[in-house]
Structure 1
Amino acid sequence: MPLIQLQPHPFTSIPAHPSFPTDLSRPELHQFIHTALHEALELLHSIPSTFVADPKLRSSPPSQAKVKLLRGWRNPSEPSTKPTNPKDKTKSEFWACRQTEHVDASAEGTASWREFEDGLKSEHAEHEMEYTRSVSAVERLLEWAPQDVGEVEVDGIRFRDVNMEVNLITHTFQPSALIAPRSFISLTISAAHDDLPPQPPQTQGEHPPPRKGFLIVQIPLHQTSSSTPQALQQKISSSVPKRTIFANYVSVEHVTLLPPSSYSSSSSAQAQDFSGKPKSRVEWTMATTADPGGSIPKWVQRNFTLGGMPRAVVADVGFFIGWTMRRRGST
């Protein structure tokens, strides 16, 4: 069974942890992370050929970058490169993807590479709570020591600074009397790389350097008494608010630093340094699917105009850039 799928995994399917009873059937930590990163890269590579882009770019203020929104149906049990028939939804998942390019600068409407690293790769869930209004609580359930993971090589790419943790993330909404809270149990893997193969040169003789970046993979887990250690089950039960509905969320994010080029998606002065040369850019891709549970119709969840998942992923760009600007101003 693939790791990157909307159907949540039981706690018995994840690697051993000091707080778990001994179970030799659990997957080995290094191999588990290798599989997750491989599936994430496979999904990202498939997006251009299997997702359909909206005809127009979207705005997400205060970000100056325009958002390219893509949508697609995906069957996690089939190869990512194989397009899924939208009419066959029995085993398919609806995914939304957004892509943006940001000028690499600590300036109005954008963020520097270091700010992306610090805001997204480090303490991902905790930072999301700071810039996403609905996230009301983040509880760290499990964490694996980075030294136990080390470096992981996947598809010719060497990943370092690999971290894995499990968080209980709760969203609350207004009016709270009408909308029940949602809680997500998310296994998150973050990993940096320095050697992503460069894109093909735009002109003959150009040899752009390898691109550095980082990946963030979030995989849903579910808590059932039969598969969850008792102490962990009690911690989850005591942390969620009354009436909470357990929901599922899966995502893949890839942030890369692009070298300066004559092309820039921004025409502002921020896109150039003091000598007029183009600045480097930060490319941010995020693909996700979710099941909020409850009685929200699936077609509403897929609808941009009605505030479904496509609108939410676009809005997240502005939330993050706005939070980064406020954070920058407070230091």
Structure 2
Amino acid sequence: MSTETELGPLVRRWGLPVKQLPSATAGLDELKPFVTAILKEALPFIDPAAPRNPPSEAKKLWKSKGSKSGPESTAKIDVLERVISVKELQAVASKHGIKSKFDEETWAVRLSVHEDAAKKGTASWDEFEHSFRLEHGQTEMDFTPNVIGANEAQRWDCAGLEVEEFGQSWDRFSLVVEEMRHKVGRPILKDRTFPVLQLSCAVKEGTGAPEFVIVSIPVPDYATSDKANLSKEKDAQIAFYVSIERIRKLSDGKIEWLLGTASDAAGVLPLWIQDKALISIVWKDVPLFLGWIASERNKTGAKTSSAPPAAGEDAKGEAEQTPQVTTGVTAEPTPAVSEGAAPETGKTAEEPKGEAVAEGTEGNAKA
């Protein structure tokens, strides 16, 4: 059983309000403690699902929900679940002065281990790194059918940032706000827009086995920011997802791909039904990605290359690779969040009950 001391206020489904983001001109003295706090929560939270040094109690936090397989993946995909109780969340909120509605936070995890090879059914390390560390937004839009818009709304300069956390040295940081728009059943159902703060970093070369992580945290009131775009579009319903993704090389040379996520589509469908659906579909991104990367290889006739950029070029290269997709539609902003409060995961009453049923059966691990 987890305790409130193991949980933190940042990597939660309730998200962060705009006012808690670093200032637009933040330097390393402001960014370092911020990203360190995120890693301090995210890394030990997700690690017991696939621990580096398995303790006897590790798996008790994450309950197995079986394994899945698909024709596009030669690896099986294990599915796990962890439920953070209302009592635990209330303890975290009380400790950190957060005001929010409280529902159980159900995390769905998928875990798969892949051969390091640019061939059908798997992918190479370079392909994983290129797709997820360097081009996360573009990749997600390319291989996920329901993603119809992506916009990097904000980026912080993390050049030179290094952090020691969870027994590792981390560098090559990226910190952005990404807006993603998902269709969930047009024309009857409203699109969902997910504004998230996205942190990525990698183990410093020469200090450990290759590894990188991507942490995504909701920013539900991002429509109040003058940098917002997709979050302000007409008829897009703001929704929530928090995720921790870890991709690393194992001692046998294989690639471990671990992702945990909790979400709320913010419609009228009860969360417990959404959570059941999430557990049933979280694994599907693996065959989707591997099928897509195989088709990309066929188009180019060569494997995707992601040789590490020269020092100081990460931010420039990643900025150039990020999709800038907009539709130019304006909309009403989300209400601002009061001091000391987390953005509320509000439900919209105007959606028909037919949408509630569909929300539980359509979409991907987010929508």
Which TM-score applies when normalising by structure 1?
0.76
For the Cα contact (< 8 Å) 1:16–1:29, is it kept in 2? Answer: no
- Structure 2 residue runs of 5 or longer lacking an equivalent are 1-7, 50-58, 93-100, 301-367
**Residues 36 and 152 (structure 1 numbering): CA distance in 2 closer, same or farther, change over 3 Å?**
same
2:60 equivalent to 1:60: no
- Alignment: residue pair count: 272
Cα RMSD, aligned residues only: 2.5
Q: Name the structure 1 match of 2:106.
A: 94
Alignment partners' CA distance in 1, 2:235 and 2:17: 22
* 2:97 matched residue in structure 1: none
Q: Distance in 2 between matches of 1:220 and 1:236?
A: 14
Q: Say whether 1:282 aligns with 2:255.
A: yes
State the distance in 2 between where 1:72 and 1:325 align: 32
Deviation at 1:259, TM superposition (A): 2.6
In the alignment, the residues of structure 1 paired with residue 30 and residue 125 of structure 2 have an alpha-carbon distance, to the nearest angstrom, of 33
SS across alignment from 2:67: coil
The answer to whether structure 1 residue 292 and structure 2 residue 265 are counterparts is yes
Question: If each structure's strand is expressed as a fraction of its own residues, which one has the higher value?
Answer: 1
Cα distance in 2 for residues equivalent to 1:324 and 1:237: 29
Which residue in 2 is equivalent to 1:270?
A: none
How far residue 173 of structure 1 moved from its aligned partner, in angstroms, is 2.7
User: Which residue matches 1:13?
Assistant: 20
* Cα distance, 1:299–1:156 mapped onto 2, change above 3 Å: closer
Name the CA distance, whole Å, in 2 between partners of 1:95 and 1:195.
31
For structure 1, list consecutive stretches of 5 or more residues without a partner in the other structure: 21-26, 80-88, 198-209, 261-279
The answer to whether the 8 Å contact 2:31/2:158 transfers is: no
- Shift of the 68–223 alpha-carbon distance from structure 1 to 2, 3 Å rule, reads same
In 1, the alpha carbon distance for the partners of 2:72 and 2:202 equals 27
Q: Where does residue 215 of structure 1 map in the other structure?
A: 213
Which of the pair is proportionally richer in helix? Answer: 2
Q: Does the CA-based 8 Å contact 1:138-1:167 persist in structure 2?
A: yes
Deviations 1:174-214 (A, max 9, x none): 3x1211100011110110105899xxxxxxxxxxxx42210
Deviation at 1:315, TM superposition (A): 0.5
One-letter identity of the residue aligned with 1:285: L
CA separation of 1:76 and 1:253: change in aligned 2, threshold 3 A: farther
State, as a whole percentage, how many aligned pairs show the same letter.
30
CA distance in 2, matches of 1:170, 1:218: 15
AA of the residue aligned to 1:213 = E
* TM-aligned CA deviation for residue 236 of structure 1: 4.6
Aligned match of 1:110 in 102, 122, 125? 122
Matched, 1:249 2:241: yes
- CA gap 1:220/1:90 in 2 versus in 1, 3 angstroms: closer
Counterpart CA distance in 2 for 1:119 and 1:46 is 25
Aligned residue type for 2:220:
H
